[in-house]
């Protein structure tokens, strides 16, 4: 697949050129590369949040190409989870309500959603803070809530965009540890974008993206 976009002057910029990539269930893949190399763009294409300029992306044999945003959304529903660099928690909701959100949107009852969310908040070590709103939590705690939210509907595939990018080293390490522990326990496929070498080193595969080219540096 290839992908690019036009800049303000109408000049076409190529971001990804003739990439080929296959990720197997249960894999953990790190995408690394310099800033502006297109890591987040690749991640959003893989997650079906955008479609490539040419080529195709298949998820469990289903193609993303030619589908509308709403059709891609229905493929994502319940099967894909996200962890973001800036956490992306809803400020008006408590930690538990944030974690409940994907379950409720899938149509689960409030009680069932509460039960599962509490369990996941327990697993990320936030049992004492379930009724706190994001602004009352530290950065690390907010990212734990985001991790719990990403895993709560037990997705087949989890995308993480710089999950430790906004955290100090120690907190970053604990989040990394948590991510991989849950990845192992649930068998989720993990694809993450990072600058953090130690985080990348923990993945089974490391892909380096630069000048539109993707190279496998470790496996």
Partner 1 sequence: MIALRLLWREFTSGQLTLLALAIVVSVAAMTTTEVLTDRIDRAMRADAAALLGGDLKLRGPRPIETEWLAQAKSRGVLATETIEFPSVIGSGSTFELTGIKIITDGYPLKGHLEIADSRAGLGYPTSRIPDPGTAWADPQLVSKLDIDVGDRVSVGEIELEISKILVFEPDRGGSFVSLTPRLLMNRVDLESSQLIQPGSRVRYITLFADGDIEGFQAYVEPKLDISQRLRGVVDGRPEVGNVLTRATTYLSLAGLLTVLLSGAAIATTANRWASDHVTDSALFRTFGLSGRETFKIFATELVVLGGVASSFGVIIGYFLQIVLVDTIAGLLTISLPEPSGRPALLGLLTGFVTLFGFAAPALMLLSNVPPIRVFKRDYPVAVMGQLGRYLFALFAVGALGYLYSNDLRLTGWVLLAVIILVAAVTLIGRVVILGLSPLERLGPAWRFGIQQLIRDPASSGGQLMAFSLTALAVAMVALIRFDLISTWETQVPNDAPNTFALNITDQDQFDFIQAVTSKGGDVAPLYPIVRGRLEMVNGTPLVKHLGGMEPPGSVRRELSLTESGVLGRDNFIDRGRFFKSTDGPGLVTVESKLFDELDLEIGDFIVYTIGPDRVSAEVIGTRKVQWESMLPNFFMIFSPGTLAPFQSTRLTSMRLPNPSVQTAEISSEFRQVTLLSVDAILNQIRDILGRVSQAVSVVLYFVLVGGILVLAASIQTSLPERRKESAILRSLGGSDNLLSQSQWAEFLTLGIISGILAALGTDFLSWFVYSKIFNLEWSPKWQVWVLAPFMTSAIVGVIGRWSARQARKMPPAHLLKIADA
In the complex, the residues that contact partner 1 under the rule CB under 8 A are 40, 43-44, 47, 49-50, 69-70, 73-80, 82, 84, 88, 90-94, 97, 101-102, 104-106, 110, 133-135, 161
* Residue closer to partner 1 (CB basis): 110 or 217: 110
Q: Provide the minimum distance between the beta carbon of 49 and partner 1 in the complex, in angstroms, as a whole number.
A: 4
Q: Provide the minimum distance between the beta carbon of 219 and partner 1 in the complex, in angstroms, as a whole number.
A: 26
Helices (H) and strands (E) in the chain, counts: 7, 10
Residue 157 CB neighbour total at 10 angstroms: 20
- Rg of the chain in Å (alpha carbons): 18
What is the distance, to the nearest Å, from the Cα of residue 145 to the centroid of all Cα atoms in its chain? 14
* Residue closer to partner 1 (CB basis): 152 or 214: 152
**Tokens of residue 66, six digits:** 């030619």
Specify whether the CB–CB gap between 117 and 99 falls below 8 A. Answer: yes
Torsion sign (Cα): 130, 132, 134, 139: negative
* Residue closer to partner 1 (CB basis): 28 or 153: 153
Residue 164: what are its φ and ψ, rounded to 5°? -110, 5
Q: Provide the minimum distance between the beta carbon of 90 and partner 1 in the complex, in angstroms, as a whole number.
A: 6
Q: Provide the minimum distance between the beta carbon of 39 and partner 1 in the complex, in angstroms, as a whole number.
A: 10
Q: Provide the minimum distance between the beta carbon of 23 and partner 1 in the complex, in angstroms, as a whole number.
A: 19
Give how far Cα 199 sits from Cα of 48, 88, 141, 147, 164, Å: 24, 21, 18, 15, 9
* Residue closer to partner 1 (CB basis): 109 or 219: 109
**Tokens of residue 27, six digits:** 């894999």
* Residue closer to partner 1 (CB basis): 58 or 90: 90
Specify whether the CB–CB gap between 212 and 34 falls below 8 A. Answer: no
* Residue closer to partner 1 (CB basis): 43 or 130: 43
Which is nearest to 73 in space by CA: 53, 90, 48, 55?
Answer: 48
Q: Provide the minimum distance between the beta carbon of 189 and partner 1 in the complex, in angstroms, as a whole number.
A: 16
């Amino acid at each position: 697949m290839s992908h690019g976009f036009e800049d303000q002057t109408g000049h076409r910029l190529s971001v990804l050129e003739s990439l080929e990539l296959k990720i197997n269930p249960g894999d953990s893949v790190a995408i690394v590369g310099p800033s502006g190399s297109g890591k987040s763009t690749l991640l959003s294409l893989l997650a079906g949040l955008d479609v490539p300029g040419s080529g195709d992306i298949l998820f469990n044999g289903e193609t993303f190409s030619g589908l509308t945003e709403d059709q891609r959304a229905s493929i994502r529903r319940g099967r894909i989870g996200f962890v973001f660099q800036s956490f992306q928690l809803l400020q008006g909701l408590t930690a538990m309500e944030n974690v409940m959100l994907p379950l409720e949107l899938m149509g689960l009852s409030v009680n069932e959603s509460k039960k599962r969310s509490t369990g996941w908040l327990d697993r990320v070590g936030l049992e004492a803070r379930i009724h706190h709103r994001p602004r009352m939590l530290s950065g690390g705690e907010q990212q734990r809530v985001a991790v719990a939210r990403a895993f709560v509907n037990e997705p087949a595939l989890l995308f993480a965009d710089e999950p430790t990018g906004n955290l100090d080293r120690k907190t970053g390490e604990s989040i990394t540890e948590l991510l991989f522990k849950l990845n192992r326990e649930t068998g989720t496929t993990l694809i993450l974008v990072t600058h953090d070498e130690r985080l990348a080193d923990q993945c089974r595969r490391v892909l380096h993206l630069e000048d539109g080219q993707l190279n496998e540096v470790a496996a």
